[in-house]
Structure 1
Amino acid sequence: MKSINKWILGIAAFSVLGTGSSMAQSGYYQDALRFSQFNSTGSARVMGLSGTQFSLGGDISNIHGNAAGLGFFRRSEFSLSPSYGGWNTDSYLNNASEFGNIPTTNFALPNLSLVIANPRDPLTPGSFKGGAFGVSINRTANFNSEFAFRNVTPTSLTDYFAADAFGAQGAVLDQENSLTGLGFSTALIAPTSPGGTEYVSTNSSDPLMYEEVITEGGVTQVTFAYGANFENKLFLGGSLGVSSISYSQFKLFTEDFNPQFGDLVGYDLRENLFINGTGVNLNLGAIYKPVDELNLGLNFQSPTWYRLNEEYDANIISEFANPTETFDARTDILLGTYNLRTPMKFNAGATYFVGKNGFISADIDYVDYSTMFLNSRDFNPQLDNQAIQQTYGQTFNFRGGGEFRYEMFRVRAGYAYYGDPFDDPNSQRHQSVISGGIGVRLPKFYVDLGINHTQFDQTYRSYSLIDAAGRELGPVADIRNTITQGILTLGFNF
């Protein structure tokens, strides 16, 4: 069966400028990044520290973070963490914003965790002091967002259709299950001569372009972990994670033309994309206490090996004057399957305890996004794998936070910096996170509240057109994202 990869040419998702990417690339390399990026998630305590966690022990976030921290548990624990968040986007096309501050809200239960502790009696001889088993359901990524932009552009998507159709007979295009085929079937392009194979747009004016993109879904991981305690000095742990992806994208792309320059008045293009699948990963971690006041943590996170299924369809409706006519064409529902290997991650952290008054903690991650890899029996991903190696690079993430304790009360604050995954000196795609939180600890119950504020910029290219001089043309929008999320953790010890 033909894969989707042929049909989404030119309708790009978030992309980096200046990479020399052309219409020949299919865009799966962008999906690879979308499903590989991460922010540290977990309990409200950890979120109040901006995700700092890899040298902390005794927190439910250890289940999917550094499992060695489970060795710190002396009592069993159950917790649930509801959250509420808002995602605002400001979109700028040619430095103009008509649809700024589009809000998207989301209520979720991003974390549900259970820890069964089995500590050994302190008087039992031997270095092994017991351990704990943990299982959690954790939402590791959220795709719910919406943005839109509108402006007059010097190029048109119909220019791409005309260039892509060059050399093809009209009878072939009319039967082709592609966007260019839809463009021909709805008379957005026409041959320059009867029966010819060179095409032009049926309106030469600069269009008023509008695009709206809505995405939904997320990544949820079920993790099974165990952590062990040796001499209350060395803690070792490992975990198995099963991740599930659910992703939906809905696009509306319109262009309106001046009827004085052609019979084409305008058209609407709608695209629907659905991706779902599962994957597995492994984590191995250690925490060492050289002195009572200091924890040193190391963690290795394997790639996640995903098998993904996708479904895609598109529809174009065009409107003409002189005479007044409407054309409607749509693709079949196109199916595809492919495998994705995300990059491995290395984490390190240190925590210093200031007596019983609290602690300060810091993490660092190393990730090489150029090691992502795609393969499929439905299509040849060679161009996408080349794009991965040429477009993405190595990055470091930094997190730091602290907790102040006074009797049963806790106050927390943190900051995180997630590096730019693009291998481009002109790219500014880092993310910054500022957080805070409070908590109350009782003998058999605790409650924590954490708030995160995240900011990052992205670039969106609606389509890409290469001119005679080799320059990449097409509308490029700057998307500024602001995410504020509050999470409440209720925990019970038993």
Structure 2
Amino acid sequence: MKKVICLCASALLLGSGSMFAQGEMDAYKFSQYDLNGTARYLSMGGAFGALGGDISAMRTNPAGLAIYRSSEVVTTLSLSSIKTKTDWLGIGMDDKKTRFNFDNIAYVGYFPTGNDEGVIGWNVGFSYNRVKNFNRQYRMGRGGGGNSISDYLAGYANLGIDPTTGKGLTGNDLWSTDSYNPYLSQEWLPTLAYNGGLIDTDNKGQAGTFYTTFGYFDEKGEWLPLEVQSADMFVSEKGAIDKYDFSFATNISNRFFIGATVSVTDIDYSTTSLYNEDFGYFNAEAEKNDFRDQLYWDNYSSLNGTGYSFNLGVIARPTDFLRLGIAYNSPTWYKMTNYYSAEAQAYVYDYYANIQNPIDPSNPDMSRKAETPTDFYTEYRLRTPDKWIFSAAAILGQNALISVDYELTNYKSMHLQDRDGYDQARDNGFIKDDFRTSGMLKVGAEYKVTPQFAIRVGGAWQNSPVQEHMKYSETGSITEVYPAGTRTAYTVDHHINYYTVGLGYRFTPNFYVDLACVYRMQKEEVYPFPHLIDENKNVLVESIPATLKTNTTKVALTLGYKF
């Protein structure tokens, strides 16, 4: 069971770095690329694995570079409108963001040998491509009912293990004082929850007695949690993945085209997650004073990293009208640095009169706030999945063509290590259990209305690499996800679809302009916190996700010059 594995493993790891290990969802987030490239590439759904002749093909099948019969410089600009819509237990919320992007710039050099057979020419290429945009924001809210994040945090603390003793956590292990900083030796999740007043314990010397502070004692002296009246979450993501490609290709007798690419990749990503719950008025006196029981759980994170990878590809031209392609895209080997901070705060009316061990009886507004260290960072390594691309294209006379690509990405091969290269065994185990190979089908077509003017259409469809047991089901199994640090919120992908159209116009034999419009649809589940499951597979806390739909409309303009 996941929780037992995680907590037992944490007991063997000392130091603050181990308290903030990366999770499987982080590995997945940074292993994805968008459908990005030149306007022609976009308008045909990215189906260029067998066609080549476009700089965007350098990062998928570099053999396409050998199709060029001239040198070229090209650049692409785009404008994107990102709309998000959430539905959380029947309550819908919308948000919108518009971004201007500089997507790529590239140079291709063609060097003919003068031969009619054998090696006919050599091609080199240098390009910058923005392959992933993280920019979006969304809001979600629900009404009453369901579990509170404080229920999850209390249960998590009760299952926790003190890494210094191997025993269950107590309040004394988590309580921050002038002489003791628990963030240096304990997991940050229960530490922040306890010091922020979201959870407490009856007896600080006894393990397993944590409970939510949002509740009351009944007539029998039992502590009963309050019901959540409403919950809200706001998430803002920013950043991108940029790739720098250095490619080399050759043309053999106009029948075989062989290419290779070496890439350097940069990641820049930041996120803000603000979550709060409202429990309403505790009693008539609280309502008279307009004091609502509330909690806040806010997380901030920024990440940067650098990686390297390589691609190999071949295109065969058995007949004049048919091209077949195959390419291998290696994993990207990243070194990451992630900075974190978080805040937690609880407002609880008359709480101190209802418990034996008050948190801070002198606090006049009956609230408590805690923050993690602001200068904390962790370093780790990530290996993304590798990919195989199988392609075919048909050239229909002088005016039309159709192309198809099918990509297979093995997400089970994602791999996490600490900064020294030691495996994060528990998280890598979760990756193998919770992910699978994903397929993406790309289709594109082009028709030249005149020798100068072309119209294009395409699409791409990607199924989710997340195993079905990870997706929410009211009647099916419930799977727990282990959070990284204090970040409890995460998303689970369902599918991603693209629909594309475009135009191209050649003003002169050398200068051309392409325009593309891409409509991207993505569906996800958003969990404000994970489910909590004990070692007997009993569901202690169930988290009900919101449905998130992200629809992006992108218009791209490419300018190219051949010489």
Letter in 2 for 1:412: R
Match of 1:237 in 2: 259
Match of 1:417 among 444, 461, 466: 461
Q: Is the 8 A contact 2:498 2:519 kept in 1?
A: yes
Match of 1:65 in 2: 60
SS of 1:180 mapped into structure 2:
helix
Q: Is the 8 A contact 2:282 2:293 kept in 1?
A: no
Q: Does 1:475 align with 2:532?
A: no
Task: Give matches, 1:322-341, under 5 Å.
Answer: 322=350, 324-332=365-373, 333-341=375-383
CA distance in 1, matches of 2:265, 2:63: 21
Deviation at 1:165, TM superposition (A): 2.7
Letter in 2 for 1:253: Y
> Which structure 2 segments of 5+ residues have no match?
1-13, 159-167, 177-181, 215-224, 351-363, 472-492
Match of 1:353 in 2: 395
CA distance in 2, matches of 1:64, 1:474: 40
CA distance in 2, matches of 1:157, 1:6: 20
CA distance in 2, matches of 1:357, 1:45: 15
CA distance in 2, matches of 1:132, 1:412: 26
Match of 1:438 among 503, 518, 537: 503
Letter in 1 for 2:170: Q
Change (3 A) 1:425 1:411: farther
Q: Is the 8 A contact 2:34 2:133 kept in 1?
A: no
Letter in 2 for 1:77: E
Task: Give matches, 1:366-385, under 5 Å.
Answer: 366-377=408-419, 381-385=424-428
Change (3 A) 1:426 1:174: closer
CA distance in 1, matches of 2:59, 2:301: 29
The range that moved more, 36-45 or 186-195, is 186-195
Change (3 A) 1:455 1:125: closer
Match of 2:128 in 1: 137
CA distance in 2, matches of 1:250, 1:347: 35
Match of 1:390 in 2: 433
Task: Give matches, 1:74-153, under 5 Å.
Answer: 74-97=69-92, 99-100=93-94, 102-121=95-114, 124=115, 126-151=117-142, 152-153=144-145
CA distance in 2, matches of 1:84, 1:271: 29
SS of 1:162 mapped into structure 2:
helix
CA deviations on 1:44-67 (whole Å, 9 max, x unpaired) are 001000111101122122322221
Letter in 1 for 2:438: T
SS of 1:258 mapped into structure 2:
strand
Change (3 A) 1:376 1:467: closer
SS of 1:257 mapped into structure 2:
strand
CA distance in 1, matches of 2:442, 2:531: 40
Deviation at 1:159, TM superposition (A): 1.2
Change (3 A) 1:125 1:475: closer
CA distance in 1, matches of 2:470, 2:338: 33
Match of 2:19 in 1: 6
CA distance in 2, matches of 1:425, 1:321: 40
Letter in 2 for 1:105: T
Deviation at 1:299, TM superposition (A): 0.8
Q: Is the 8 A contact 1:153 1:209 kept in 2?
A: no
Q: Does 1:188 align with 2:198?
A: yes
Q: Does 1:267 align with 2:295?
A: yes
Q: Does 1:215 align with 2:237?
A: yes
SS of 2:426 mapped into structure 1:
helix
Q: Percent identity?
A: 28
Please tell me the root mean square deviation across aligned C-alpha atoms, in Å. Answer: 2.1
Match of 2:40 in 1: 45
CA deviations on 1:250-293 (whole Å, 9 max, x unpaired) are 11011122332799721222111111111111111111111111
CA distance in 2, matches of 1:328, 1:425: 36
Match of 2:26 among 24, 31, 35: 31
Change (3 A) 1:231 1:467: closer
Deviation at 1:493, TM superposition (A): 1.3
Match of 2:342 in 1: 314
* TM-score normalized with structure 1 length: 0.90
CA distance in 2, matches of 1:94, 1:467: 22
CA distance in 2, matches of 1:312, 1:4: 12
CA deviations on 1:120-139 (whole Å, 9 max, x unpaired) are 33xx3651111211010001
Q: Is the 8 A contact 1:174 1:182 kept in 2?
A: no
Letter in 2 for 1:88: K
Q: Is the 8 A contact 2:512 2:561 kept in 1?
A: yes
> Which structure 1 segments of 5+ residues have no match?
8-25
SS of 2:433 mapped into structure 1:
helix
CA distance in 1, matches of 2:396, 2:531: 59
Q: Is the 8 A contact 1:202 1:264 kept in 2?
A: no
Change (3 A) 1:259 1:190: farther
SS of 1:383 mapped into structure 2:
helix
CA distance in 1, matches of 2:514, 2:17: 45
Q: Is the 8 A contact 1:223 1:241 kept in 2?
A: yes
Change (3 A) 1:3 1:83: farther
Greater Rg over alpha carbons, structure: 2
Match of 1:18 in 2: none
The range that moved more, 297-306 or 420-429, is 420-429
Change (3 A) 1:153 1:119: farther
Q: Does 1:205 align with 2:247?
A: no
CA distance in 2, matches of 1:298, 1:181: 51
* TM-score normalized with structure 2 length: 0.80
SS of 2:123 mapped into structure 1:
strand
Q: Is the 8 A contact 1:64 1:136 kept in 2?
A: no
CA distance in 2, matches of 1:233, 1:425: 47
Deviation at 1:364, TM superposition (A): 0.7
Deviation at 1:478, TM superposition (A): 1.1
CA distance in 1, matches of 2:198, 2:206: 16
Change (3 A) 1:131 1:194: closer
Deviation at 1:413, TM superposition (A): 0.1
Give the number of aligned pairs. 472
Q: Is the 8 A contact 1:5 1:28 kept in 2?
A: no
Deviation at 1:391, TM superposition (A): 0.6
Change (3 A) 1:128 1:402: same
SS of 1:356 mapped into structure 2:
coil
